[in-house]
Structure 1
Amino acid sequence: MSEFHQVQMLEVDPDCAGQRVDNFLMSRLKGVPKSRLYRLLRKGEVRVNKGRVKPEHKLHAGDLVRVPPIRLAQEGDLVPVGPELAQRLAEAIVFEDDWLMAINKPPGLAVHGGSGVQIGLIEALRQMKPDIRFLELVHRLDRETSGVILIAKKRGALKALQEQFREKSEQMTLAGIRKRYLALVDGQWPVSRKEVDEPLLRTELANGDRIVKVSADGKPSKTLFSVVENLQGATLVEASPVTGRTHQIRVHARIAGCPLLGDEKYGIDVVNEKLKRKGLRRLCLHAATLSFMHPITEQSMTVEAPMPSDMSALLEALRCS
C-alpha cells in the first residue's frame, strides 16, 4: 500500500450528482476498507464543502469532498482472483451487454473487499475483465445472500440504474425496480399474512455494522409475502419488497414470527442441530429475479438467477423429512 500524506480535494462531477457520499468514497478510494471510510465520516475527517456530513448525504455537481491522508491499495497489493472463483463468476453471468451485466452472486462472497475480506465480487470482476475500464456495483447484497446483482459498465448506466433503485427506496410503489426473493423461514408461515407493513430504522454501530429495527421514527417499509411450499418445520416463501430498506425482508419475516433460517442477526438464537445436519450453513435468502428499465434502451427487463446448489439441497432435504 502507499501512504497519501496530503489532504485530497475531490470534485464531484455531474455524473456523480445525487450519489451518497459513502458510495462516492468507495468508488474513488478503491482498496480502503468500508469500516475505515465510515470511521472517517463519523469523526468528521471527510468533509463536503467544509462541512461534516453523514454517510447518506447526497452529493451535488461541483461539491468538494475533503479526504484526509489515507492508505490506498496499489496494483501490487491486490489479492489475485483464483481460477476456481474466476470460473464460478464467469458461469454466473446471466446477462451482459455494452452497458451492464447481471451476476448470480454466489453465497459467501462479499460484494466488495474490506474489513477482513481480501477480495470481493467487484474486485474479482475487475481482474477478470481488465479491458473494461469502468465496472461499478449498482446495488448490494449481503455476503451470505445469493442471487441477481447488477454491475454497471458505463458511468451513465450506473447513474440511471441507481436512480431507479433510489426511487424504489423512497416510494411505496411496485413500479420501476421489482425484486423477487426466495427464502426458507423457520416454522409455518401464516397463510393469511400477505404483507408486512412496518417502518424500519437503520442504525450504524461503532464497528460500521448495521442493525435495523421496527420504529415509529423509521422509514415506511413494506414487503409482500406468499407461501411457495410448506415443509417440515419450515416454509419456502416468496418475498417481494415494495420499498428497498436495509435488511427489510429479514426484519419483516421476524415480525411475522418466521425468521429466515440461518439468520444469526435477526433469526433464531440457536441454529437447530437437525437443520445443520441437513445442510443449513448460511442465511437462506436468494434474489431470484430482478426487473428494471434498461438504462439506455429504456426497455423493461427481467433477469433470473437459479437457486444455488447449497440452498436447493437443503430444500430437497426438508422435503424428504
Structure 2
Amino acid sequence: MNEEFKTVQLIEITDDHALQRVDNYLIARLKGVPKSMIYRVLRKGEVRVNKKRVKPEYKLSIGDVLRIPPVRVADKPNNNVNLNKVASLETHILYEDDRIIVFNKPSGIAVHGGSGVNFGVIEGLRALRPDSRFLELVHRIDRDTSGCLLIAKKRSALRHLHEQLRHKQVDKRYHALVCGQWPEHRFKVVAALEKNTLKSGERLVSVSLNGKPSETRYRILEQFSKSTLVEASPITGRTHQIRVHCLHAGHPIAQDSKYGDSVFDARLKSIGFNRLFLHANSISFIHPSTEKKMKFTAPYDEALTKLLSEHVHDI
C-alpha cells in the first residue's frame, strides 16, 4: 500500500486546487483507492475541512486545511499502465510548458481509463511526468477520434481554460470524411441531441426535441467521387455531436461503428481503411499565463494520410 495512505494527512489547499470539489481532489490524490471507499469515508465524516464534516460536492478554498484519514488498500501490482505505451506518448506531444500540454491523441486510445479501459491518455501522461503535481484533461474527445487534446498542468490553468470554453473562446476544428456529396450550401447543422445509455452501458446519442440545443458548422475541404472531406466546428460540446450531426445531415462519417453507413464502410475496409475518419485537426485558445492567442495543428496519422494520398480515386 502507498505509504501516504497509511497515516492521517493534513493538507493546506493552495491555488492549484482552489474551487475543486473535495471528492474529485481525493480521487486524484488517492490513486488506486476505489471511489466507493472515498465516498464512504466522506459519508462517515472521516474527511474534514477546517475540522468540519463536508459533503462530496464541497469546493475547496485557498487556505482550507483538509484532513484525509488512513485508507487501507490491498497491495496489488499496477497493470494499468503499459510502459511501452507510456514511452510512445512522448512523440505525440505537440507543445508543453509549465501550464499546458497540447497532445495529438492517436485513434483507439481513450482520454482516460474507466468503463473497462485500464489505460488512458491522462494516466499515461501522469506516468510519463511523475513529478507533475497536477495533470488534468481540459476537454475530451472520443476514443476513436484522433487529434488535438488539451491538458492543464495547474489548477489555475484549468480554470482559465474552462472559462474560455464556457464563453466559446476556444476554437476547435475537426476534419471528417463523410459519405456522399456534402451540399455546398449547407454550412451548419442545428439539431438538439439527447444522450441515452443502453443496459450494456453503451452510450448512444440521437436527435430529439427533448435533447440539448446543439450546433455544428461545416465547410467543404475536398469533394471526391463518393465522399466529401469536411471541416466541422462544434459550437456546442455535446457527446458524439459531430458524428450524430453528420448522420442527421445524411452524410455519416467513414468507419463510424455507431452512426455509420455499412456499405460505405465496407468499401473502405476493402482497401484497408479501418479507423473512424474524425480528426481534431486544430485548436486555438488564449494561453492561461501569457494571455496570448495560440493555435496548434495536429498532423494526420499514417492511416488518414495513406487513404487521402493513395486511394483518392476509391473514395
Paired residue for 1:118? 118
Corresponding residue for residue 286 of structure 2: 293
User: Structure 2 matches for 1:116-195, cutoff 5 A?
Assistant: 116-168=116-168, 176-195=169-188
Q: Which residue of 2 aligns with 1:67?
A: none
Deviation at 1:261, TM superposition (A): 0.9
Deviation at 1:140, TM superposition (A): 1.0
Query: C-alpha displacement at 1:256, in angstroms?
Result: 0.7
- Aligned 8 A contact 1:27 1:136 in 2: no
TM superposition shift of 1:200: 1.7
Counterparts of 1:214 and 1:238, CA distance in 2: 21
Structure 2 residue aligned with 1:79: 80
Distance in 2 between residues matched to 1:232 and 1:184, nearest whole Å: 12
SS at match of 1:240: strand
- Map of 2:273 onto structure 1: 280
Distance in 1 (CA, whole Å) between partners of 2:306 and 2:82 is: 27
Shift of 1:19: 6.0
Evaluate the alpha carbon distance shift between residue 19 and residue 309 of structure 1 in structure 2; reply closer, same or farther with a 3 A threshold: farther
**Cα gap change, 1:86 to 1:59, in 2 (>3 Å):** same
Task: Give the alignment's Cα RMSD to 1 decimal.
Answer: 4.0
Q: Tell me how far apart the structure 2 counterparts of residues 14 and 205 of structure 1 sit (CA, whole Å).
A: 40
Q: What stretches of structure 2 of length at least 5 have no aligned partner?
A: 6-10, 45-52, 65-70
For each residue in 1:286-317, what CA deviation from the matched residue of structure 2 results, as whole angstroms up to 9, or x when unmatched?
Answer: 00100111111111111110011112212234
- Conserved? CA contact 1:30–1:73, under 8 Å: no
What is the one-letter code of the residue matched to 2:240? H
Instruction: Give 1:234 deviation, angstroms.
Output: 1.4
Closer, same or farther: CA 154–19 of 1 in aligned 2, 3 Å: closer
Q: Which runs of 5+ in 1 are unaligned?
A: 5-9, 64-69, 169-175
| Equivalence map 1:235-254=2 (5 Å) | 235-254=228-247
Residues 47-76 of structure 1 deviation map (CA, whole Å, 9 limit, x = unaligned): xx998x9xxxx864479xxxxxx9979784
CA change 1:285–1:71 in 2 (3 A) is: farther
1:320 shift after superposition: 2.9
Structure 1 distance, partners of 2:114, 2:290, is 35
Q: Is the 8 A contact 2:15 2:155 kept in 1?
A: no
Distance 2:274 2:12 in 1: 44
Secondary structure of 1:319's aligned partner: coil
CA 1:154–1:87: 2 relative to 1, 3 Å: same
- The code of the aligned residue for 2:121 comes to L
CA distance in structure 1 between the aligned counterparts of 2:178 and 2:107, rounded to whole angstroms: 17
Q: Distance in 1 between matches of 2:176 and 2:212?
A: 23
Q: How far has the Cα of 1:206 moved from its partner? A: 4.6
Q: Tell me the secondary structure at the aligned position of residue 176 of structure 2.
A: strand
d(CA) in 2 for partners of 1:260, 1:294? 32
Residue 131 of structure 1 and its aligned partner are, at CA, apart by 2.1
Q: How does 1:15-54 map to 2 (within 5 A)?
A: 27=28, 30-31=31-32
Match of 1:99 in 2: 99
Residue 313 of structure 2 corresponds to residue 320 of structure 1: yes
In the aligned structure 1, how far is the partner of 2:209 from the partner of 2:243? 18
Number of matched residues? 298
1:202 — aligned with what? 195
Q: What does the per-residue CA deviation read over 1:94-133, in whole Å, with 9 as the maximum and x for residues that have no partner?
A: 1111111101011111111222222111111111221222
- Given the two structures, how large is their TM-score scaled by the length of structure 2? 0.78
| Residues 1:88 and 2:81 aligned together | no
Q: Is the 8 A contact 1:241 1:249 kept in 2?
A: yes
CA distance in 2, matches of 1:72, 1:269: 47
